[in-house]
Amino acid sequence: MACWTCVDQGTFGVIATCGKFDRFAPPGCHVIIPCLGTANVGTISTRIQSLDVSVETKTLDNVFVNIIISTQYQVLQDKSRMFDAFYKLTDSKGQIRSYIFDVVRSTVPRIKLDDVFTSKEEIAMEVKNMLAKSMEEFGYNIISTLVTDIAPDPKVKNAMNEINAAQRQRVAAKDRAEAEKIMVVKAAEADAESKYLSGTGMARQRQAIINGLRDSVVNFQKEVDGISSKDVMEMMMMTQYFDTMKEVGTQGGNSTIFVPSGPAAVADASAAIRAGLMQGNAAVAAMQR
């Protein structure tokens, strides 16, 4: 009796006669004769397959990390290679997983944690080279190998984030200090420039006053006979004194007290204050009587 077997697209059927390999059946329908010992003993996929392997290992600075390696592989579409893939290797995924564990655990311990993140390409290349050499004899082609995730312990991750935050805060504080320094320097430069201009203006003002006084004295002596320069200066000083008194008296909110400028001025002022207080007390006592 004959029967039919169907092989799906993307796979090859493995036909054996009396337990011995006979041929590979391509996708489609095929006739097998069970009475002659012919049977479809299995299939082998020719599609690209993916395998994710999670490996826990430690780094050079004794930090444990969990690294996920994603590998894409495919059976070589050659009859001899397909024969090796089906009959030589019982568990292809288990074999690939073992090689990945071996390569990662021999590579990552030579790298510090900070360098692991920047060495993803080197780790992936090491894994791919090792897998390509080892799996080729079993009829498999390693297409690509990727390091998809590097996950250290949560405490280590938090510590790394805190270190990065502290570094950024230090840079920000330095920038703020530089900005404040610039503001202080600019304010000092502006104050110095202001004082310089004020001093220059005051010097010019005093020079103008001196020139004006000199001209006034000279003109006054020419117009009035029998007067000396000292008399003219005293008269002008009195005029300025009265002008100052006028300015003090006409401006609101002033609380200015004029006291004598002699050696005994303080003692005289104190005596006057005491006398005034005593008179005031006596007047209050008299009113109460």
Dist CA 238 CA 260 (whole Å): 17
CATH numbers and ranges of domains, the chain: 3-45 (no CATH), 49-152 (3.30.479.30)
47-60 pLDDT, tens digit per residue, is 888 999 999 988 88
Q: Is the Cα dihedral 257, 263, 266, 271 positive or negative? A: negative
Q: What are phi and psi of 52, to 5 degrees?
A: -100, 125
Is 2 a residue whose pLDDT tops 60?
A: no
Integer Cα distance of 19 and 38 in angstroms: 8
pTM: 0.52
**Measured distance CA(204)–CA(214) in Å, rounded:** 15
Q: Mean pLDDT of all residues in the chain?
A: 80
> Which tokens belong to 288?
């109460």
Positive or negative torsion for Cα 198, 201, 205, 210: positive
pLDDT digits (tens, 9 = 90+) for 171-209: 888 888 888 899 989 888 888 888 888 888 888 877 887
24 residue type, one letter: F
Pairing of strands 28-32, 3-7: antiparallel
Distance CA 264, CA 258 (A): 15
Give 27-50 pLDDT, tens digit per residue.
888 777 777 777 777 888 888 889
- Between 223 and 69, the more confident residue is 69
Per-residue pLDDT band at 249 (split at 50, 70, 90): low
Summarize the confidence of residues 233-238 as an average pLDDT: 70
Give the 3-state secondary structure of residue 238: helix
